[in-house]
Amino acid sequence: MVDILIWKYIHLMCLVYWLGGDLGTYIASRYLVNTSLSAQARLVATKILVACDQGPRFAMPLILPTGLQMAFSMGILQVSIAAMGLIWLVSLIWLTVIIGLHFLSTSTPGWLHKCDWLLRIGVCIATLSYGFGSLLVDTQLYADWAAWKLGFFGITVLMGLCIRIKLKPFFNVFPNVVNNTIDPQVNMIIKEAIVGARPFVMIIWASLFVVSALGLHLI
């Protein structure tokens, strides 16, 4: 019982940092696209955006294994200890890659970005197929609410990938923000990228609200 409470606590803290960080990122993005602000103010907003975004980045690879560990301890997920070990191994590798991307931000090797991208795609496919698949066929996941939670987690990972694709033009002109060389064309690129990514952010928020309600058995 104690171990379940510990995993539940870590699981809930991951949710707090995920949603809180996302909210900070969203607010900072509104200042970033505000062309009436000075270049220095927009640069500060960008730094706040990047800093707040670290919360969700670190929470995502931890919220998955802690949730599955909790399901395993409760008997809802009846897999072998080796399978749980594999889940933790993949999650910790993913977390290590994210830590590397954070601390090597100025000189990040390209393979690290590719590794992060491939891990996200793999986790997305695995959680979507196993989560929603458990609602259709018999698996080792013996609770529909847990299957829905896992499936909706997969949706959040998918939306995160969509956001990265949408924000790629912004990252291409990010040096212009740093060097204070923003022109109308750069402003347009920044606005289209940030505004275009917001619907995916909203879907992530909605998914997390649903996941939270499922975990608390409100639905």
pLDDT attached to residue 163: 95
pLDDT tens-digit readout, 52-65? 999 999 999 999 99
pLDDT attached to residue 3: 84
Can you give the residue range of the structural domain that contains 129? 2-215
Per-residue pLDDT band for 102 (boundaries 50, 70, 90) equals confident
Structural domain count, the chain: 1
pLDDT attached to residue 2: 64
Decide: 190 and 170 in contact? Cβ < 8 Å: yes
pLDDT tens-digit readout, 61-78? 999 999 999 999 999 999
pLDDT attached to residue 124: 97
Give yes or no for residue 108 having a pLDDT over 70.
Answer: no
What is the spatial distance between Cα 71 and Cα 22, in angstroms, rounded to a whole number?
26
Length of the chain: 219
Per-residue pLDDT band for 189 (boundaries 50, 70, 90) equals very high
Lowest mean pLDDT among 37-51, 102-116, 121-135, 183-197: 102-116
Mean of pLDDT values over 99-117? 82
pLDDT tens-digit readout, 133-182? 999 999 999 999 999 999 999 999 999 999 999 999 988 888 887 777 88
